């Protein structure tokens, strides 16, 4: 609490009492703490690649570096630059969402087609790990959202499922109705998330295993961005998971229309 006080005077200006104001500053304090944590996180995330790049370039500047090593070091430098640029673009996107600068172009969208397109693009990535990918929908569904935003969210979630699933696993996307929503479930039989971490995976920069996520190119911002976007479309996103067994990400979007004909499952 912040306390302010002032004397209370009567009309003859003599002091008759004391006015005390207690101001609850818990919220301000929490915001300030969050801001500090955020800056600390960003600094740390940028410092890691910078340190790596610096040490590799210093080595490269010494003469007599073997050609094979040169190539290896340059590859690392290139990857670290990519990581920084992913981080910066994720941060920019979050700050645009925070300041409501993102202009969503909402329109009627045929979700079946959007998901089918994403899956066929990501099949190449899944094939490299021999992960099977399927899409099942009982009907053709329409929602009202921004197309690029929706593509980004589904892409992010499906890529996570591929990343956090071992070779020979599966990723299934199922779509059905839960009035007034159309529900898309992304199910994998991957490494899962321990119970104690589950509530925090939507937090900015939260990663269950920092090392593993970083090796896989993650920024720890993907799920928090996905949540902001889905909520901007009046939808919901939830995650259920069992450690070492698998994960289900459930995305609910406003149901605009459904067409009761068999969809072309892929």
Strands 246-254 and 181-188 come out as antiparallel
247 binds ligand ADP (CB under 6 A): yes
CB of 100 to ligand ADP, least distance (A): 22
Name the minimum Å distance from CB 79 to ligand ADP.
15
Does residue 191 belong to the site contacting ligand ADP (CB under 6 A)?
yes
Among 87, 223, 237, 253, binds ligand ADP (CB under 6 A): 223
Element (H, E) at 78: helix 67-98
Of 47-55, 91-99, 202-210, 228-236, the segment contacting ligand ADP by CB under 6 A is 202-210
Q: Which stretch binds ligand ADP (CB under 6 A): 18-26, 33-41, 49-57, 188-196?
A: 188-196
Any contact of residue 49 with ligand ADP (CB under 6 A)?
no
Torsion sign over Cα 192, 177, 174, 232: negative
Residues 6+ apart with CB under 8 A from 240: 198, 247, 248, 250
Question: Measuring CA to CA, which residue among 178, 185, 173, 114 is closest to residue 146?
Answer: 114
169 forms part of the interface with ligand ADP (CB under 6 A): no
Under a CB-based contact definition with an 8 Å cutoff, are residues 211 and 158 in contact? no
Q: Candidates 52-60, 121-129, 200-208, 254-262 — which segment interacts with ligand ADP by CB under 6 A?
A: 200-208
To ligand ADP, the closest distance from the beta carbon of 19 in angstroms equals 49
- CB closer to ligand ADP, 180 vs 194: 194
For residue 126, how many other CB atoms are within 10 A of its CB?
Answer: 20
For position 220 contacting ligand ADP by CB under 6 A, the verdict is yes
For CA atoms 190, 191, 196, 201, the dihedral sign is: negative
The reply to whether 143 sits near ligand ADP by the rule CB under 6 A is no
CA 232, CA 157: separation in Å to the nearest integer? 17
Asked whether 219 and 203 are in contact (CB, 8 A), the reply is no
* 170: exposed, middle or buried (Cβ count in 10 Å: 0-12, 13-18, 19+): middle
Minimum Å gap between C-beta 168 and ligand ADP is: 16
Residue for token digits 């790049």? Answer: 53
- Least separation in angstroms between CB 37 and ligand ADP: 16
Site for ligand ADP contains 137 (CB under 6 A): no
Kindly state the number of chain residues that form the binding site for ligand ADP, as judged by CB under 6 A. 22
Give the residue from 254, 250, 249 showing the smallest Cα distance to 232. 254
By the rule CB under 6 A, 155 interacts with ligand ADP: no
Q: Is 208 in the site for ligand ADP (CB under 6 A)?
A: yes
Peptide bond connecting 152 to the previous residue in cis, omega within 30 degrees of 0: no
Interaction of residue 160 with ligand ADP, rule CB under 6 A:
yes
Residue 222 lies near ligand ADP (rule: CB under 6 A): yes
Rule CB under 6 A: which residues touch ligand ADP? 160-161, 164, 188, 190-193, 201, 206-209, 213, 218-224, 247
């Amino acid at each position: 609490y912040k306390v302010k006080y002032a004397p209370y005077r009567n009309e003859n200006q003599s002091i008759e009492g004391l006015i005390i104001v207690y101001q609850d500053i818990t919220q301000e304090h929490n915001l300030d703490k969050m801001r500090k944590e955020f800056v600390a996180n960003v600094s740390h995330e940028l410092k890691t690649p910078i340190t790596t790049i610096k040490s590799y370039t210093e080595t490269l500047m010494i003469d007599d570096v073997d050609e094979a090593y040169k190539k290896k070091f340059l590859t690392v430098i290139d990857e670290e630059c990519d990581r920084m640029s992913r981080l910066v673009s994720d941060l920019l996107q979050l700050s645009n969402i925070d300041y409501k600068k993102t202009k969503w172009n909402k329109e009627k969208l045929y979700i079946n087609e959007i998901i089918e397109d994403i899956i066929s693009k990501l099949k190449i990535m899944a094939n490299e790990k021999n992960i099977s990918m399927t899409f099942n929908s009982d009907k053709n569904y329409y929602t009202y959202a921004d197309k690029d935003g929706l593509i980004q969210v589904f892409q992010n979630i499906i890529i996570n499922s591929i990343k956090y699933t071992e070779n020979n696993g599966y990723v299934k996307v199922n779509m059905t109705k839960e009035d007034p929503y159309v529900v898309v479930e992304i199910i994998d039989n991957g490494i899962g998330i321990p119970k104690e971490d589950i509530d925090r995976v939507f937090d900015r920069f939260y990663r269950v295993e920092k090392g593993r996520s970083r090796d896989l190119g993650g920024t720890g911002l993907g799920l928090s961005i996905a949540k902001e976007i889905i909520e901007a479309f009046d939808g919901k996103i939830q995650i259920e998971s069992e450690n070492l067994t698998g994960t289900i990400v459930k995305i609910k979007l406003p149901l605009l229309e459904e067409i009761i004909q068999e969809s072309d499952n892929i």
